[in-house]
Structure 1
Amino acid sequence: MIICIAREYGSGGHDIGKRLAANLNIPYYDRKLIDAAEDIGLKRSILEKADEAKANPLLNTPQYNVSEIRFRGLSANDIVYQLQSEWIYETANKGSCVIVGRCGDYVLEQTGVPHLSIFITAPFDDRVSREMKRHQLSEKDAVALVKKMDKQRRSYYNYYTDRTWGDPHNYDLCINSTTFGIERAAKLLTVFVRNIE
């Protein structure tokens, strides 16, 4: 079973995905794409800015020493999206795994690969509180971070797909991590996946 998890920032989607993968004894993938893109000559600093970020005019100048001809002339954002799409497709065809973010649900739907699409959400205040603890931030800084990251993810998803990020119609299952907690949400998803396989 291929499981794609999209998540609001601070909802615990990363942790839920990791625990779900561990419970099912399958690989977990989140930021692995950065390594693949580095292999063709893009600098990690550029990739970090382009990862799950809407096309940025400052990153659109093809000034990178890219080793593969097919990527020459593309923006860093577009290269990262193309690489991650190829990687997601190839990885999904190898067997069961959990893929977090990076439009995984859309990529697999467009390529006809069966998968389960999950969206992890939580109330805004709970997400802010979680990030305050996680990063030792003031409330003001945590609010700004959560808003910024949600906007970035929304812009990225909406830019590269014909969908609206977070719209429940795009997902097979939506879970509020505050209702269940991280551990219980992972257990609930584990039971769910085992019962539909």
Structure 2
Amino acid sequence: MPSSMEKYISAQVTYWKKQKEQLTAPEKVNRLPFITISREYGCGGYEVAKKLVEIFNNEMKQTPEWAGYNRELLDKVMDDLGLSQSLAETLTGTARSGLTNLLSTSFSSFPTQVSVHKKLAETIALLALNGNVVIVGRGSNIITRSIKNGYNVRLVAPLNWRSDEIVKKMNISKQDAGKLIAEKTKQRDTYLKEYLKFDVADPHNYHLLINNAEHSAEQAARIIIESMKIKGLIQ
């Protein structure tokens, strides 16, 4: 886990514990915003998330501090028993009931292949309910779609641009990059459509679409922030 992001995550859990009664009171639940970032394979979702966290914490001085979660960090939270329990302890009462209802209505009827991800769904939902988090991928926009104050972003880019990015990051041939994109895209789309009944490519499922080829990670982050200001999610 990157040390800087680990610091933010630790600070969040500490803050959430202190504010537990306020966060779980009916009038306070969901008062803090959260962001989900879905992306075409090859787009820099976590790079944008890190820029968002940097701007929120260093420039805007928001409280509690924001943190970004990608696959690695979400797995870390789930695998770290102490951290997972600490996160679970931040919600009681009304919010815990809401989380239980969310998980039961969203996952109870799904086949075994999806039910095994219930822990992941619970972790993502807990983070979203507490707020001030950026969650990249992992079906986070689907899992949190009934939770208020969420802002769902989709990063897209031309295939050629994404191929070039993968070539640079993974040091493979462009032909292999193209094959990898096709393989990963098929895996993601099939999973989401077949089991979660969700079309990840449908633009109507998002508040904002950004062409990653035309905007750097910082530019994308600032576009997201300005859009959230317009919607009144942040100041």
Task: Please give the range of the TM-score, normalised by the shorter of the 2 chains.
Answer: 0.7 to 0.9
Classify 1:84/1:158 alpha carbon distance in 2 versus 1 (closer, same or farther; 3 Å): same
Identify the residue that residue 93 of structure 1 maps to in structure 2.
129
Matched, 1:103 2:144: no
Equivalent position to 2:76, from 31, 35, 38: 35
CA distance in 1, matches of 2:50, 2:189: 22
Equivalent position to 1:16, from 34, 48, 61: 48
Bigger Cα displacement from structure 2, 147-156 vs 116-125: 147-156
CA distance in 2, matches of 1:154, 1:115: 22
CA distance in 1, matches of 2:49, 2:219: 12
Classify 1:86/1:182 alpha carbon distance in 2 versus 1 (closer, same or farther; 3 Å): same
CA distance in 2, matches of 1:22, 1:158: 34
1:189 CA displacement: 1.6
TM-score normalized by the length of structure 2: 0.63
In the alignment, structure 1 segments of 5+ residues that lack a partner are: 41-73
Bigger RCO (CA 8 Å, 6+ sep): 1
1:21 CA displacement: 2.1
Matched, 1:82 2:128: no
Letter in 1 for 2:67: P
Three-state SS of the structure 2 residue aligned to 1:178 is coil
Deviations 1:83-127 (A, max 9, x none): 1110111111222110111111111124x3330011000000000
CA distance in 2, matches of 1:126, 1:113: 34
Equivalent position to 1:6, from 38, 44, 47: 38
Maintained 8 Å contact 1:33/1:83: no
Pairs aligned (count): 162
1:15 CA displacement: 0.9
1:8 CA displacement: 0.5
CA distance in 2, matches of 1:3, 1:109: 11
TM-score normalized by the length of structure 1: 0.74
- CA root-mean-square deviation: 2.1
